[in-house]
Amino acid sequence: MKNFNLMKKVLLAHALLALSATFSVAFAQHADKETQEDIQRHRAMAAAHEAAAKCLESGKKDEVCEKELQAACKGLAIGKYCGMKHVH
């Protein structure tokens, strides 16, 4: 009977270990997907800011370039400055 109880505990430990490994892999894949999405958002924000800089370089008014930046960042970043704010 002692061997049977020990065997049950070992099997339970193995089952829990396998389940834990499965959740770890699933979490890593989820985290990796979120990281990749975050990278894409940062690249899109960088492109929007680069376009805003080129807009200003072209001589357009600040208000025009800011509106273009806001349009490019809609749904991408928090706030009307596309995730960045600085002194003007």
Is the per-residue pLDDT at 9 higher than 90? no
What is d(CA 45, CA 39) in angstroms, rounded to the nearest whole number? 10
* Residue 68: burial class (beta carbons within 10 Å; 0-12, 13-18, 19+): middle
Q: Where are the domains of the chain?
A: 2-73
Percent of the chain with pLDDT over 70: 74
CA 58 to chain centre: 33
Mind listing the pLDDT tens digit for each residue in 29-58? 667 888 888 889 889 999 999 999 999 999
- pTM (predicted TM-score): 0.60
Is the per-residue pLDDT at 60 higher than 90? yes
The reported pLDDT for the residue numbered 69 is 92
